Structure 1
Amino acid sequence: MPEASEQARAVLAGVHAFAHGIDRYRLAVGTRFGLGVPEVVTLTHLAMAGPARAGEVAERTGLSQGSVTALVDRLERRGLVARLRPRDNRRIVLVELTGAGRELTDGLLAAVLPSMAATAAEPGLPEPADLAHGLHRVADMLVELADRDPAQVTPAG
Structure 2
Amino acid sequence: MTAQHPLDRVARIQADWHRERPDLDVSPQGVIGRLHRLADRLSEELRLVYERYGLSEGEFDVLCALRRTGEPYERAPGELAAHTMVTTGAMTKRIDRLERAGLVTRRRADDDQRGRIVALTQPGRELIDQAFTDHIHNEHRLVSMLTPAEATALQGLLTTWISRTEDPRPPDGK
TM-score bracket, normalised by the shorter chain, equals 0.5 to 0.7
Instruction: Specify which structure has the higher proportion of helix.
Output: 1
Letter in 1 for 2:151: P
Distance 1:11 1:41 in 2: 22
Where does residue 110 of structure 1 map in the other structure? 133
Where does residue 18 of structure 1 map in the other structure? 42
C-alpha spacing 1:70/1:24, structure 2 compared with 1 (3 Å):
same
Instruction: Report whether the alignment pairs 1:125 with 2:150.
Output: yes
Letter in 2 for 1:108: A
Q: Deviations over 1:48-89 (max 9, x none)?
A: 566444456679697984x86576455335432111344343
Contact 1:26 1:41 in 2 (8 A): no
C-alpha spacing 1:132/1:91, structure 2 compared with 1 (3 Å):
farther
Tell me how many residue pairs correspond in the alignment: 137
Higher relative contact order (CA 8 A, sep 6+): 2
C-alpha spacing 1:53/1:133, structure 2 compared with 1 (3 Å):
farther
Question: Aligned-pair RMSD on alpha carbons?
Answer: 4.3
Superposition pairs of residues 93-104 of structure 1, within 5 angstroms: 93-104=116-127
Identity %: 23
Distance 1:79 1:132 in 2: 40
Letter in 1 for 2:158: G
Superposition pairs of residues 3-152 of structure 1, within 5 angstroms: 3-30=27-54, 39-48=59-68, 51-54=74-77, 65=89, 72-73=95-96, 75-120=98-143, 122-123=146-147, 124-127=149-152, 131=155, 134=158
Distance 2:102 2:137 in 1: 28
Contact 1:53 1:95 in 2 (8 A): yes
Q: Which has the larger radius of gyration?
A: 2
C-alpha spacing 1:68/1:8, structure 2 compared with 1 (3 Å):
closer
Letter in 1 for 2:150: L
Distance 1:36 1:117 in 2: 20
